[in-house]
Amino acid sequence: MKIKNSVALVTGANRGLGLAFARALLASGARKVYAAARNPQSVTLPGLQAVRLDVTKPEEAAAVARECGDVNLLINNAGIARDTSFLAANSLQTAREEIETNYLGTLAVSRALAPVLARNGGGAIVNVNSVLSWLNFPRAGTYSASKAAEWSLTNGLRNELRGQGTQVVALHVGLMDTDMASSISGPKIDPGDVARQTLRALEENKEEVLADEVSRQVKQGLSAEPGIYLAYSFEQKAA
């Protein structure tokens, strides 16, 4: 996947990692960058083409697919985190919200754009899966479950879209210096660095990005005995 002269669509592109992706794409020579957000007026970076998209509404995903028929790179970045444990009083509600956005939203947009990518030579999809696709701890119980579902979706999409030549990339990262992680202490990676690593991985035809030491450590520890997912704690690592 060549970034120069590509046409990209980034969901949740008005802030955080999505905005970092938009900046990195422009800097790398993308011909056009569609910046998708629930409120297009919140997209203010010059050079972007704002489009309305609430990923929880399949009809809006279908409309974007019709409007943005030249896309050959989809970055599924939009996501929410409600900082809720499984046994919290509001856990059922927050779990539904996170599943609707992080998993079903990614599915809806990917399904809508897959035919567009096929018509444009295959292209690529990047899903922002998070290191919490593999870990779960009380503060992020329901969020982690939604990201685990999104990781499984990513692996399934890779198999289903291989025949049309679509590269599917899973991005895993721990703490980033964004609003979403502002209440969590510990070392945080620059989202611009994460975006640049991911674009390099696309050009190198990779299928997975482990963007920081945390994600690399956790991936390695999945097959350890005992598995790292049984005892890992961000709070312990930050102490």
Supply the DSSP string of 69-113, one letter for each residue: TT--EEEE---------TTSTTHHHHHHHHIIIIIIIHHHHHHHH
From residue 6, give the alpha-carbon distance in Å to each of 123, 193, 226.
9, 20, 44
* CB-based contacts of 90, cutoff 8 Å, min separation 6: 84
- 73 vs 109: CA distance, rounded Å: 12
Rg (the chain; Cα; Å): 17
Catalytic machinery residues? 143
Can you give the residue range of the structural domain that contains 215?
Answer: 7-238
pLDDT, position 236: 45
Query: Is 1 among the domain residues?
Result: no
What whole-number percentage of the chain has pLDDT above 70? 93
Determine if the peptide bond prior to 226 is cis (ω within 30°): yes
pLDDT above 70 (res 57)? yes
As a whole number, the mean pLDDT across the chain is 94
Rounded (10°) angle between helices 141-161 and 91-98: 30
127: which 2 tokens? 């899903």
Residues 53 and 130: their CA atoms lie apart, in Å, by 22
- In this predicted model, what pLDDT tens digit does every residue of 17-30 receive, in sequence order? 999 999 999 999 99
150, part of any domain: yes
Of 15, 11, 26, 13, which is closest to residue 199 (Cα–Cα)? 26
Least confident of 49-63, 68-82, 179-193: 179-193
Q: Is the residue at 26 inside a domain?
A: yes
Q: Which residue, 158, 62, 43, 68, is CA-closest to 109? A: 62
Q: Tokens standing for 143? A: 């969020």
The answer to whether residue 2 sits within a structural domain is no
47 lies in some domain: yes
Q: Percentage of the chain surpassing pLDDT 90?
A: 88
For residue 234, name the pLDDT band (cuts at 50, 70, 90).
Answer: low
Q: Contact 51/105 with Cβ under 8 angstroms? A: no
Assign 3-class secondary structure to 153-175.
Answer: HHHHHHHHHHHHCCEEEEEECCC
Among residues 29, 22, 26, the alpha carbon closest in space to that of 78 is found at 22
**pLDDT of 64:** 98
The domain that holds 167 is classified in CATH as 3.40.50.720
- 104 domain-assigned: yes
pLDDT of residue 238: 40
Model confidence at 187, pLDDT cuts 50, 70, 90, reads confident
Write down the pTM of the prediction: 0.94
Q: What is the mean pLDDT of residues 150-159?
A: 98
pLDDT of residue 233: 65
What is residue 239's predicted lDDT score, i.e. its pLDDT? 33
**Residue 110, in any domain of the structure:** yes
Domain count, the chain: 1
**How far is CA 152 from each of CA 49, 73, 133, 145, 202, rounded to the nearest angstrom?**
31, 20, 9, 11, 20
- When pLDDT is cut at 50, 70 and 90, the band that residue 182 belongs to is low
- pLDDT surpasses 60 at 71: yes
pLDDT in tens, 85-130: 999 999 999 999 999 999 999 999 999 999 999 999 999 999 999 9
Q: Given a cut of 90, is residue 232 above it in pLDDT?
A: no
In a domain, 98, yes or no: yes
Cα–Cα distance for residue pair 49/67, rounded to 1 Å? 11
Position 156 pLDDT exceeds 60:
yes
